[in-house]
A = this chain, B = another copy of it.
Amino acid sequence: MISNRHLVFMEVAQQKSFSKASQALFISQPAVSVHIKGLEEHYKTKLFERKGLQIELTEAGQLLYNRLLTVLHIQQETEFDISVIHDQQQATGVLNLGASTTAALYILPKVMSAFHREYPLVNITLLNRNSEIVLQALLDKEINIGVTEEKGQLSNITYQSFLKDQIVAVCSKHNPLARKKPYQPKDLLQMPVAIRERGSGTLEAIKQGLQRNKIRLNDLQIKVRLGGTEALKNFLLESNCVGFLSTRSIAKELQHGELTILSFDNLRIERNFYFIQRKGETSELNKRFIKMAKSIYNY
Contact = CB atoms under 8 A, between A and B. Distances in A.
A60 B43 contact: no
Interface string A67-96: 110110011011101110110001000000
Interface string A1-41: 11110100000000000000000000000000000000000
A59 interface: yes
A51 interface: no
Contacts of A74: 67, 70-71
| Interface SS of A by simple majority | helix
A20 B78 CA distance: 26
A45 interface: yes
Interface of A: 1-4, 6, 43-45, 59-60, 63-64, 67-68, 70-71, 74-75, 77-79, 81-83, 85-86, 90, 280
20 contacts: A1-B2, A1-B3, A1-B67, A1-B71, A2-B3, A3-B3, A43-B83, A44-B86, A45-B82, A45-B86, A60-B82, A60-B85, A60-B86, A63-B78, A63-B82, A63-B85, A64-B78, A67-B74, A71-B75, A280-B280
